[in-house]
Amino acid sequence: MISNAGFGVWNNTIDVTDQVRQQYANGTRVFVADNQYGDPSPGDRKYLYIFWKVNDAPTQSGVTGENDNRGIRIA
């Protein structure tokens, strides 16, 4: 389902695919951008992006920034 996820800003982005997959497997459905994934760019506002696919539907994606509590919702 989760094909790729990253956290950071500009060229300071880290791959967090495994962490997001584990969170999803544990029941998380809303993902927020915060330093639980590490801090690849101290002092900068970072973003979480996720790409996922549900069944045979086209790939979907979402992005959210730090301090945005709406997050990315994956059903």
Question: How many distinct structural domains can be found in the chain?
Answer: 1
Nearest to 46 by CA among 5, 18, 2: 5
Q: What does the block give as tokens for 60?
A: 């979907």
What per-residue confidence (pLDDT) applies to 28?
97
Q: Which tens digit of pLDDT belongs to each residue from 30-75?
A: 999 999 999 999 999 999 999 999 888 999 999 999 999 899 999 8
Mean pLDDT, residues 15-28: 98
What per-residue confidence (pLDDT) applies to 75?
85
Domain that holds residue 63: 2-73
What per-residue confidence (pLDDT) applies to 47?
98
What per-residue confidence (pLDDT) applies to 26?
97
Q: What does the block give as tokens for 37?
A: 């994934």
The radius of gyration of the chain from alpha carbons, rounded to an integer in Å, stands at 12
